[in-house]
Amino acid sequence: MANEHSELETAIAMLIDEMEGDLGDRHEIWLRLQTLLQQIRATGMPVPDDLQRMEEELEAEFGAESGQ
């Protein structure tokens, strides 16, 4: 479980680094963020507040476009 936690932290750090640099494809970042947060929730770990807010903001932006 500790290894899985470490892998998730690394993936989140990489995603945040991408967002701080050239945003590139924001929709792709949103999809990747959703996947990472689903993995966090599946392990029972709490989702950090800043990532929760980021997810909500991107959901508002892209969820309306996709009809979600």
Those residues whose C-beta lies under 8 Å from the C-beta of residue 52, and which sit 6 or more positions away, are 37
DSSP single-letter state for residue 61 = I
Are 36 and 15 in contact by the 8 Å Cβ rule? The answer is: yes
Helix (H) or strand (E) holding 24: none
Per-domain residue ranges of the chain: 2-66
The reported pLDDT for the residue numbered 38 is 93
Give the three-state DSSP class for 46: coil
Residue position matching structure tokens 């494809």: 25
* pLDDT (tens digit per residue) in 16-45: 777 766 556 778 888 888 998 999 899 898
The percent of residues in the chain predicted with pLDDT above 90, rounded, is 9
Query: Is pLDDT larger for residue 66 or for residue 49?
Result: 49
Report field, pTM of the whole predicted structure over 0.75? no
Whether 10 shows a pLDDT value over 90: the answer reads no
Are 1 and 36 in contact by the 8 Å Cβ rule? The answer is: no
